[in-house]
Structure 1
Amino acid sequence: MTTLPPRRRQIAAMRLDGVRPTEIAARLGCSANTVRSTWAAAKESFVRQGLLAAA
């Protein structure tokens, strides 16, 4: 996870802890859609690194 950019890492950590996108958005001052797309990009990174199975 350390290879992710800081914001992506922050969102990924919160999602892995079970925090909802709307709550993350409120905490970070961005939209829930931004959180969802950033989380999707993080998951894609995890798949490429072999840390997560492709869906």
Structure 2
Amino acid sequence: MPQLNPAPWFYILVFSWLVILTLVIPKVNAHLSTNSPHPQSTKTPKTTPWAWPWP
């Protein structure tokens, strides 16, 4: 059974990881987020209590 021979499969595994680490990850990391996070203001908004129509 050829599956028991680890020689070709190990090289395929190593080569695929090298491709992922050198090509795919930098391409994914190069994308910029369109909505950059902004710090929220420390000012609390002025709220009014809700006036319920029934007591």
TM interval, short-chain normalised: 0.3 to 0.5
Structure with bigger RCO (C-alpha 8 Å, 6+ apart):
1
**Structure 1 length-normalised TM:** 0.34
Larger of the two Rg values belongs to structure: 2
The structure with more helix, counted as a fraction of residues: 1
